[in-house]
Amino acid sequence: MPDEYAIHLAPLFGALETMDVQALIDQVTDDWYNQTLVQVGDVLVRLGVMRGEFHWHRHDEQDEFFFVLDGLFRIELDGRPTVELRPRQAFSVPAGLRHRPVVPVRSAVLMIEKAGVSPTGD
């Protein structure tokens, strides 16, 4: 995992806990921050607060879902047009497709993935 990514795999919250997501977003100082918020069954809900470029990667066995809370979030896709997402827009990348987020301005994104997935790809 590259040093420039602050990735926290352990869930920050459990069931029956109120999650102040905005307070967490406001506290982030890293350019690339990924925090698992909670595990719901066999699914993880993660918060990304990001600016910059992630590396090209893929998840061979799992789809990935992105929901933009604020900012501007681009997903470059191998062999396909780049997808640009604005607040309250979402997109799912299917398993096995190489992709990379490119985030020109500080943005907050919720991601949903199966437990056990490596955020940096397979």
Domain contains 90:
yes
Domain contains 120:
no
Domain contains 104:
yes
Specify the number of domains making up the chain: 1
Q: pLDDT higher for 5 or 98?
A: 98
Query: Does the model's pTM come out above 0.75?
Result: yes
Domain contains 1:
no
Domain contains 73:
yes
Q: Give the Å distances, CA to CA, from 85 to 17, 29, 33, 74, 114.
A: 29, 22, 18, 6, 22
pLDDT at 99: 96
Domain contains 71:
yes
Range in 47-51, 54-58, 118-122 the model is least confident about: 118-122
Residue 23: CATH number of its domain: 2.60.120.10
Domain contains 107:
yes
Q: Is the CB of residue 99 less than 8 Å from the CB of residue 56?
A: yes
Exposed/middle/buried for residue 2 (C-beta within 10 Å: 0-12, 13-18, 19+)? exposed
- 32-40 and 6-8 strand pairing: parallel
What is the tens place of the pLDDT at every residue in 62-114? 999 999 999 999 999 999 999 999 999 999 999 999 999 999 999 999 999 99
Q: Considering the chain, what percentage of its residues have pLDDT values greater than 90?
A: 84
C-alpha neighbours within 13 Å on the C-beta side of residue 112:
10
